[in-house]
């Protein structure tokens, strides 16, 4: 049985074709996320992107937002402890008109101590850790994830809207109106000051810390060109503090997984706080898909 793994998110479509022995043969990527698909024509979109890969001897494992309420087939969430084989076992099967077998993978959820969900990031986690490893995996991004892994399975996680909040504050708030065009990235010192403020545990909280990025500029404590970097640092500092507080297993060094520039930014923040961090594998998602593709058909 030939196997294809598809990571189909809101903005992007990524597909990986694996051989019988689990080796990656071919990959395909396009800006064809589920938000670009009209009138629920997901099967048309799939055939448009990788139709030349499909035949009755093909099994396609689909993950990401394609399995969400806004996607093709909504799948239930898998609760911790969530393993890679558990994802495959809980997949929802559907036939494709090409004769291929479609397997829609579940996401992962927390119900306690607070509700939380992920769809797609779990593949990166499994690609970054070994089957028996304990780890604290940090996936920076629009919705950053701090994932506790016990013996190779996801034991719990917390999501932080760090990237989305930064964009909202810069683009749609009164604070952002003071930011000159092209000012992002202008001051590493301002970023580090923001990180330390966010991590410090100011009793007035995040919302007060955020407003200081406007007040300080108005009072001349720093230049408006520093606002964006200061905001970024404040949000990341708060995330790091809360991420450690929410981790299930204390004492683990955070493993940073994701896009290179973001990983480097978080590494700088950890270092400024005197905290250790480690860089995860460059292609954690691909490795996770390889592991998933290597699972026997009996798992799904």
pLDDT digits (tens, 9 = 90+) for 87-134: 989 999 999 999 999 999 999 999 988 999 999 899 999 999 999 999
* Sign of CA pseudo-dihedral 26, 29, 30, 35: positive
Instruction: Give 9's DSSP letter.
Output: -
H, E, C per residue of 199-210: HCCCCCHHHHHH
pLDDT at 299: 46
Q: What is the CATH number of domain 2-119?
A: 3.30.420.300
Q: Whose CA is closest to 237, among 185, 204, 278, 202? A: 202
The structure tokens 């992007």 sit at: 12
pLDDT digits (tens, 9 = 90+) for 210-266: 999 999 999 999 999 999 999 999 999 999 999 999 999 989 999 999 999 999 999
Per-domain residue ranges for the chain? 2-119, 160-279
pLDDT at 296: 52
CA distances from 119 to 79, 86, 87, 171 (A): 12, 14, 11, 27
- For the chain, give me the number of helices (H) and strands (E)? 9, 14
- Say what the pTM is: 0.90
Domain 160-279, CATH among 1.20.1260.10, 3.30.479.10, 2.40.50.180, 3.30.420.310: 3.30.420.310
Contact 279, 256 (CB under 8 A): yes
Contact 145, 118 (CB under 8 A): yes
């Amino acid at each position: 049985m030939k196997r294809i793994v598809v990571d189909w998110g809101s903005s992007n479509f990524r597909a990986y074709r694996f051989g019988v022995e689990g080796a990656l043969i071919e990959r395909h990527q396009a800006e064809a996320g589920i938000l670009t698909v009209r009138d629920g024509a997901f099967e048309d979109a799939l055939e448009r992107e990788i139709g030349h890969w499909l035949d009755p001897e093909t099994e396609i494992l689909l993950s990401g937002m394609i399995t969400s309420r806004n996607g093709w087939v909504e799948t239930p969430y898998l609760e911790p402890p969530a393993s890679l084989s558990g994802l495959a076992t809980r997949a929802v099967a559907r036939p494709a008109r090409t004769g291929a077998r479609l397997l829609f993978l579940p996401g992962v959820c927390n119900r306690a101590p607070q509700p939380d969900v992920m769809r797609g990031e779990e593949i990166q986690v499994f690609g970054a850790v070994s089957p028996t490893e304990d780890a604290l995996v940090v996936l920076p991004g629009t919705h950053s994830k701090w994932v506790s892994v016990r013996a190779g399975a996801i034991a719990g996680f917390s999501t932080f809207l760090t990237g989305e909040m930064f964009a909202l504050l810069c683009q749609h708030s009164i604070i952002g109106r003071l930011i000159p065009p092209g000012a992002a990235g202008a001051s590493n010192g301002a970023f580090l000051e923001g990180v330390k403020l966010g991590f410090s545990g100011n009793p007035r909280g995040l919302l007060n810390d955020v407003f200081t990025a406007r007040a300080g500029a108005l009072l001349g404590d720093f230049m408006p060109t520093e606002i964006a970097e200061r905001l970024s640092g404040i949000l990341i500092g708060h995330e790091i503090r809360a991420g450690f507080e929410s981790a299930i297993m204390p004492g683990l060094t955070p493993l940073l997984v994701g896009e290179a520039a973001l990983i480097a930014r978080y590494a700088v923040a950890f270092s400024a706080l005197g905290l250790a961090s480690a860089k995860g594998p460059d292609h954690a998602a691909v490795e996770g898909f390889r592991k998933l593709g290597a699972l026997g058909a009996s798992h799904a």
